[in-house]
Structure 1
């Protein structure tokens, strides 16, 4: 048996145990993991500094280096809080979605159940190991994690702390060793992508090439997004103050984030529209503008920081930096058409005081997140109240948008009977009819 098969089989065994545990058992280990990571923050920081030192000496992009730094600002504290937030959420497993009396003493239930075994592949962000650990255990799933080589020291340290904590508390929580496993090499990933007998879902978090490569090399269902090409449309009836505030936040709050604004569409009918661009310039943003925008904008701000837009590429590009593509559109319809043509279906926003235009935009844009008068940076599991997220999905099947606990459960059907057989009923040789009476699920607890 190959090492990949051993890892996958171990995860399957752990997942089969996890799904039988109570919410109290699954949540209790999360508090223990939180405390262990907090207690060992210095060890983790030392490992993270080593990764950063290596990264800065390589050709790693600045955006990836920013993602790698676990102790920048309040990132570590936010990561820890995310574990607690997940632990406090309602149990996603065992929810009754449907109850139907098929006949007297024969009842059908549709009930949420864990997906099973997750293979999560991500780049650079070391906090993901804590996020996925919390989400997977809480939802009754086992997880196999592969981080980028640039953060291997941080991952090793955190993985050791997490697994030591699980092992030390097995007797009281029942959460098994193997519930969370860390792999390190690309060969491990390649080998595991063939383990469709044991692995139920692959979640890639990273570059377009990473996601596409995984989709081409596995039979296992893949959940994820390739790019975060997020657009904001400033309508002709926008509030200028809101427009300036929202666009600066969406572009500069965290330019390397997949929910950062990459395209700005402006209706030139808006009075003083150029102030939006000047405000972005003043906050360090370089604007990649079409000829029409350049001609009009430089009339109002001759010193504006603009580059000529390559319209064949820039509107399909994730800059991940303080750069933004800018274009004029003359209507909300034109904005929706542009976004649906160029968007990666991540998150897009309209800024307007015209409710009719806003409703058209909200219904017309085919993305997992569509906003009105707020920053695209809200596209995040933590901000949605999911505790944290396993990733953001732009697919339309199973889960969409920030994927929290609800996206990590599927459902199963249970029938609870009292000795009935199909042969007694119409359609299988019998004469008995079904009742098919829907029951109120509000008070049903199984």
Structure 2
């Protein structure tokens, strides 16, 4: 399905001084330039691409004051316009966050080269050799709300994997994204990689136009709210990699270590509630709920979490004097991604009920269990349908940087690969290369057909 003229992109209000700045050339022309630069990049050596990635890191570090000032201006304008707290958390780029992102760029340079890996090397017959080799996708179109640090992650992964990239950040992050891309292009200009490999879009109209460029763009990666991602998925013919929802669960089993379960719950909900890998629902086995809930709920409330409970959970908490009143959970709560300090709590009778709840309401993102029973954990991880299934650790570990990918371009909850946090391996495809010596297909058919050897090398 392609975008109609009346299609409306979900947006966040912005102040009046945030006028859209159109591109100097038609987007189709610029996309062709990015594709041409990407083809040159694909032929660049491993060392050449690594040098370019490191040059990006150096340029970002040198431009840090300008980048942080631009982000501060974005944050002030967004607050004045009434930005949602979850979106503001994604928008904010402080010095520590920027330095961590730059460190991630340097890590990308140290990763193995994803291009040119031989996946199949097979002799079909004497002198007729087949190889399947990895190669870049071509041009990525990455559209995201807020999250200026996504520019850094995506650009470094794109260069490392030999891809061009067209970036479109949210209107609330225009200043930040502009400063970041200027630094990235300045870094590339010091290398043999054409700065045209990275292109930034700044207007909403360009987003709609980008979704129509199936001739020049090979993959769309949306990062943002579920309504935003769904809009992208429904308005382009270009393949889309991403996830619409991040409804993650933590299940506390009857054989859980209570102290460990409390710590994991707090980390998974409070450490960064705006992240898509933060938990939205806490499931608790009925046998342990009377002991566990009086420990974890006050701890959650101390950290500002609004706790929404089912009737069985409320019964376990009636004797407590809580700082805030409990809110009754509704059916809608089980299917809601809050991206905020809100947590729904439900008591379940057993492991099967927990798995059934997760597979009914979850978004196939990341699910976790706390238990000392290895068999219970194994059953949970085998039966839960999600890209990530964790045992005795926080769902917040579902991240490309933490997985050692250097960074990530996004998270995919689809069944076909790539799945979960997507790093370099998700930005390459492969091609079959067959080399012969005048071989003819007719030789291998008919009554005197020559047989294939099919010997792997």
TM-score (ref. length: structure 2): 0.92
1:162-192 Cα deviation digits (max 9, x unpaired): 11222242xxx3x123210000111111111
CA contact (8 A) 2:248 2:365 kept: yes
**Would the alpha carbon gap of residues 430 and 21 (structure 1) be closer, same or farther in structure 2, given more than 3 Å must change?**
farther
Choose which of 309, 312, 322 in structure 1 pairs with 2:341.
322
Displacement of 1:2 after TM fit? 7.7
Asked if residue 124 in structure 1 is aligned to residue 164 in structure 2, the reply is no
Tell me which residue corresponds to 1:433.
451
Asked if residue 286 in structure 1 is aligned to residue 309 in structure 2, the reply is no
Tell me which residue corresponds to 1:418.
437
Displacement of 1:430 after TM fit? 6.2
Tell me which residue corresponds to 1:155.
177
Asked if residue 242 in structure 1 is aligned to residue 240 in structure 2, the reply is no
Looking at structure 1, the residues matched to 407 and 442 of structure 2 have their Cα atoms a distance apart, in angstroms, of 49
**Would the alpha carbon gap of residues 304 and 46 (structure 1) be closer, same or farther in structure 2, given more than 3 Å must change?**
closer
Tell me which residue corresponds to 1:399.
418
Choose which of 210, 214, 217 in structure 1 pairs with 2:235.
217
SS at match of 1:341: helix
1:187-230 Cα deviation digits (max 9, x unpaired): 11111111111111000000111111111111000000111111
SS at match of 1:203: strand
Q: Which region of structure 1 is more displaced relative to structure 2, 391-400 or 308-317?
A: 308-317
1:52-106 Cα deviation digits (max 9, x unpaired): 110110110111112111116x211110001000011000011111111100111
CA contact (8 A) 1:298 1:304 kept: no
Tell me which residue corresponds to 1:309.
328
Looking at structure 1, the residues matched to 342 and 124 of structure 2 have their Cα atoms a distance apart, in angstroms, of 60
Q: Where does 1:333-348 land on structure 2 (aligned, <5 Å)? A: 333-348=352-367
Displacement of 1:152 after TM fit? 0.5
Tell me which residue corresponds to 1:444.
none
Displacement of 1:306 after TM fit? 4.5
1:85-142 Cα deviation digits (max 9, x unpaired): 0011000011111111100111111111111110000111111111111000100110
Tell me which residue corresponds to 1:3.
26
Looking at structure 2, the residues matched to 86 and 279 of structure 1 have their Cα atoms a distance apart, in angstroms, of 38
Asked if residue 139 in structure 1 is aligned to residue 161 in structure 2, the reply is yes
Looking at structure 2, the residues matched to 27 and 200 of structure 1 have their Cα atoms a distance apart, in angstroms, of 23
Looking at structure 2, the residues matched to 205 and 308 of structure 1 have their Cα atoms a distance apart, in angstroms, of 31
Looking at structure 1, the residues matched to 328 and 82 of structure 2 have their Cα atoms a distance apart, in angstroms, of 26
CA contact (8 A) 1:83 1:134 kept: yes
Looking at structure 1, the residues matched to 198 and 390 of structure 2 have their Cα atoms a distance apart, in angstroms, of 35
Tell me which residue corresponds to 2:395.
376
Tell me which residue corresponds to 2:21.
none
Tell me which residue corresponds to 2:6.
none
Tell me which residue corresponds to 1:257.
275
CA contact (8 A) 1:122 1:146 kept: yes
Tell me which residue corresponds to 2:47.
24
Q: Which region of structure 1 is more displaced relative to structure 2, 305-314 or 114-123?
A: 305-314
CA contact (8 A) 2:35 2:139 kept: yes
CA contact (8 A) 2:242 2:411 kept: yes
CA contact (8 A) 1:288 1:306 kept: no
Looking at structure 2, the residues matched to 419 and 410 of structure 1 have their Cα atoms a distance apart, in angstroms, of 28
**Would the alpha carbon gap of residues 82 and 133 (structure 1) be closer, same or farther in structure 2, given more than 3 Å must change?**
same
1:250-272 Cα deviation digits (max 9, x unpaired): 01110111111110000120261
Q: Which region of structure 1 is more displaced relative to structure 2, 407-416 or 305-314?
A: 305-314
**Would the alpha carbon gap of residues 350 and 76 (structure 1) be closer, same or farther in structure 2, given more than 3 Å must change?**
same
Asked if residue 295 in structure 1 is aligned to residue 318 in structure 2, the reply is no
Choose which of 184, 191, 194 in structure 1 pairs with 2:202.
184
CA contact (8 A) 1:37 1:162 kept: yes
**Would the alpha carbon gap of residues 111 and 309 (structure 1) be closer, same or farther in structure 2, given more than 3 Å must change?**
farther
5+ residue gaps, structure 1 = 440-446
Looking at structure 1, the residues matched to 153 and 382 of structure 2 have their Cα atoms a distance apart, in angstroms, of 32
SS at match of 2:326: strand
Tell me which residue corresponds to 1:94.
116
1:272-325 Cα deviation digits (max 9, x unpaired): 1221223222332221001221122122x2325343334221111111111100
TM-score (ref. length: structure 1): 0.94
**Would the alpha carbon gap of residues 367 and 148 (structure 1) be closer, same or farther in structure 2, given more than 3 Å must change?**
same
SS at match of 2:74: helix
CA contact (8 A) 2:55 2:190 kept: no
Asked if residue 12 in structure 1 is aligned to residue 35 in structure 2, the reply is yes
